[in-house]
């Protein structure tokens, strides 16, 4: 498709609030030959059309295969049929990519513990971050010990973004066992992970987390971390 044609399509998409888009038209203009940005824009508009968008998305998937933007649209439409289709894709893949995992995010509560165990041990950073996002929708159903067991591969990851994302998930809990695990990250983790763990302990604001901060503010050998622990402790009062 020519640049002029794409410009026309962008212009039409930009007027969607004033002139509603027809899902059939979106299905007709979608093509793998469009630029990446335009393909995602068209697919996103289809996803936003919910129940009228899903049949078109499903047809496009059959015609063009598992394109990332169509997987994204399937998750965006929030339809039960789309959920079932996405879960089927997950069950059939030993190495689900981040697009699929992110598309499933709002249905994370429906995944099993064994599925999370597999997802959170996948190798790439994008997969693990998507898995942690999924887990945020499931964590309220889990006991603290169960959640920590699932999180352990992420907490031991060598990449700070993965560890920090996991810490931010854990800081929503108030159990003592979570505080204890965060303390170990303050002592043994990277500087970035230690800082995130200290902030998490401050956010938790429980009796256990306050006691942990008090001990860390006097016992840490690293001056910068000790100072940060004291700062977080002072914010509690």
Per-residue model confidence as pLDDT tens digits over 35-80:
999 999 999 999 999 999 999 999 999 999 999 999 999 999 999 9
Domain assignments of the chain as residue spans, ordered by start = 1-92, 171-237
Cα torsion angle, 142, 145, 150, 155, sign: positive
Average pLDDT over residues 215-223: 95
Q: What pLDDT, on the 0 to 100 scale, is given for residue 81? A: 97
Residue 3: pLDDT band (50, 70, 90) is very low
Of the candidates 104, 116, 179, 182, the residue with the CA atom closest to the CA atom of residue 150? 116
Contact between 150 and 113 under an 8 Å Cβ cutoff? The reply is yes
Contact between 121 and 91 under an 8 Å Cβ cutoff? The reply is no
Contacts of 53 (CB under 8 A, 6+ apart): 23, 26, 45, 46, 47, 73, 77
Residue 237: pLDDT band (50, 70, 90) is confident
Q: What is the pTM of this model?
A: 0.90
C-alpha–C-alpha distance, residues 7 and 1, integer Å: 10
Sheet strands (E) in 38-197:
none
What angle in degrees, to the nearest 10, is found between the helix axes of 36-48 and 68-76? 20
């Amino acid at each position: 498709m020519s640049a002029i044609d794409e410009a026309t399509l962008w212009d039409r998409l930009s007027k969607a609030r004033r002139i509603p888009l027809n899902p059939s038209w979106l299905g007709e203009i979608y093509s793998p030959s469009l630029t990446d940005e335009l393909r995602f824009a068209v697919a996103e508009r289809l996803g936003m059309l919910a129940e009228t968008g899903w049949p078109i998305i499903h047809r496009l998937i059959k015609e063009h295969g598992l394109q990332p933007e169509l997987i994204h649209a399937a998750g965006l439409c929030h339809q039960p049929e789309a959920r079932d289709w996405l879960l089927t894709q997950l069950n059939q893949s030993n190495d689900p990519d981040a697009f699929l995992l992110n598309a499933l995010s709002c249905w994370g509560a429906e995944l099993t513990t064994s599925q999370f165990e597999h997802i959170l041990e996948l190798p790439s950073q994008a997969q693990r971050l998507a898995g942690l996002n999924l887990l945020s929708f499931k964590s309220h159903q889990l006991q603290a010990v169960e959640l920590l067991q699932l999180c352990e591969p992420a907490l031991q990851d060598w990449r700070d973004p993965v560890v920090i994302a996991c810490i931010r998930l854990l800081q929503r809990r108030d159990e003592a066992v979570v505080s204890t695990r965060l303390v170990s990250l303050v002592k043994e983790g990277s500087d970035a992970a230690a800082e995130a763990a200290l902030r998490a302990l401050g956010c938790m604001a429980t009796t256990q987390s306050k006691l942990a901060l008090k001990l860390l503010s006097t016992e840490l050998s690293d001056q910068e971390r000790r100072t940060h622990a004291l700062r977080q402790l002072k914010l509690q009062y």
